[in-house]
Amino acid sequence: DTAVSQTPKYLVTQMGNDKSIKCEQNLGHDTMYWYKQDSKKFLKIMFSYNNKELIINETVPNRFSPKSPDKAHLNLHINSLELGDSAVYFCASSPIPVPPLRGGARTPYEQYFGPGTRLTVT
């Protein structure tokens, strides 16, 4: 009954290859994220989807393309992998309402993370 799950756990591949990481959440949340955690453990947001609509895209190379087939899934496809793509990638979900509230109450919404996918590009 894992809340946020990712596959695979480890991914080793060569430069130039294309790979995908899958994420699923069973929390009933409408908003999902992809984060990258580098070798210095710094966690940085890449993308956010709210009910299958892209709402955050943080200056990520267009070799990275998120795909959300439904609100419980957010997959990450990476083309032409480079050495610098090696990192741990985390998926997360949050109970942010749809559509996101604009103005009004400033309710905070926590995020729940998956176990991570360690990507190694050789």
Partner 1 sequence: EDQVTQSPEALRLQEGESSSLNCSYTVSGLRGLFWYRQDPGKGPEFLFTLYSAGEEKEKERLKATLTKKESFLHITAPKPEDSATYLCAVQGGGSNYKLTFGKGTLLTVNP
The binding site for partner 1 (CB under 8 A) comprises 4, 31, 40-45, 48, 55-56, 90, 92, 94, 96, 100-102, 106-116
Tell me the C-alpha distance between 49 and 92, whole Å.
Answer: 10
- Work out whether the CA dihedral 82, 88, 35, 2 comes out positive or negative: positive
Min. distance of Cβ 76 from partner 1 in angstroms? 15
**Minimum distance of partner 1 from residue 16's CB (angstroms):** 28
The nearest distance, CB 101 to partner 1, in angstroms, is 7
CB-wise, 73 or 116, nearer to partner 1?
116
Nearer to partner 1, 14 or 40 (CB): 40
CB-nearer residue toward partner 1: 64 or 113: 113
Per-residue HEC secondary structure of 57-114 comes to ECCCCCCEEEEEEECCEEEEEECCCCHHHCEEEEEEEECCCCCCCCCCCCCCCCCEEC
